Amino acid sequence: MTKKIVQIENVGQSFDTKKGKFVALRDVHLDIHEGESIALIGHSGCGKSTLLNLIAGLTRPTSGVMLCDGREIAGPGPERAVVFQNHSLLPWLTCFDNVFLAVERVFSAKEGKAKLKQRTHEALELVGLTHAENKYPHEISGGMKQRVGIARALSMQPRILLMDEPFGALDALTRANLQDELMKILAATKATMVMVTHDVDEAVLLSDRVVMLTNGPAATIGEILEVKIDRPRDRLALAHDAHFGDCRAAIMEFLYHKQLKRAA
């Protein structure tokens, strides 16, 4: 097996709220290997974003240890790019400048301005937004904002790509295109990916392992499903793939049978 890039050991996360302590996550164990793609799936509010924020280093766990490359995750950094659930574009910058801010931060030490700009153009072209480069975030649709957020994260060429429902606001066609692009990029860069999703097909299509979270509060990992489908994957061929169907069924069973019962 390849090297472990992220180790999550016995991690718990609780928040202090007005009504007292709220335990969001408990006893989470997960090792993420270099180059691996992981999908986090679970019902709304179970703690997927919380777990992703922990890996990003935006929040610190209240118990347990989080390691990246064997060292404790002390804070966020550009080698762990995040696509935020609410896109988090800076409203006073154009789409171009939003991406450029990230590109500049990561590459300006080694590259000239022209190269930085070229990288920015390329990132926006990848998500099909060349025409909206000079628009401000409030001038574009929700799905377009989400794509700018994806372009920003990809432009940084991160070692770990953390994505919180990146394709949630997109139509089926754009979503499929971006999923294919993402798979190509991950194959080319060998980057590691953790993606939060609600979409069972997406989870199976994109990931090597699907991590299923139980319902909150005090959610933890319920099951981990290995997706043993060779890459590159072709969505059309997969529609008739028996293992693909099995994976889907297993996730559905977890989400709509085991977890719904518990929630009820």
Which residues are at the interface with other proteins (CB under 8 A)?
Answer: 56-58, 75-78, 80-82, 84, 86, 88, 90-93, 101-102, 105, 136, 138, 156
User: How many residues at the interface with Mg ion, by CB under 5 A?
Assistant: 2
DSSP label at 219? Answer: B
Selected from 1, 3, 17, 138, the binder of ligand ATP by CB under 6 A is 17
Selected from 5, 26, 41, 49, the binder of ligand ATP by CB under 6 A is 49
Q: Tokens for 96, please give them.
A: 């171009």
Nearest-angstrom CA–CA distance, 147 and 87: 8
Instruction: Mark the segment that binds ligand ATP (CB under 6 A) among 44-52, 98-106, 143-151, 236-244.
Output: 44-52
Q: Does 13 bind Mg ion (CB under 5 A)?
A: no
Residue nearest to ligand ATP (CB): 49
At its nearest, how many Å lie between other proteins and the CB of residue 199? 23
Nearer to other proteins, 156 or 191 (CB): 156
- Residue list 67-126, contact with Mg ion (CB under 5 A): 85
Q: Does 263 bind ligand ATP (CB under 6 A)?
A: no
At its nearest, how many Å lie between other proteins and the CB of residue 98? 9
E-strand ranges in 34-101 read 37-41, 63-68, 71-72, 80-83
Is the C-alpha dihedral spanning 157, 159, 165, 168 positive or negative?
Answer: positive
38 contact choice in other proteins, ligand ATP, Mg ion, none (CB below 5 to 8 Å, kind-dependent): none
Largest Cα–Cα distance in the chain? Answer: 58
Per-residue mark of binding to ligand ATP, 69-88 (x: CB under 6 A): ----------------x---
E-strand ranges in the chain read 4-17, 20-33, 37-41, 63-68, 71-72, 80-83, 160-164, 192-196, 209-213, 221-226
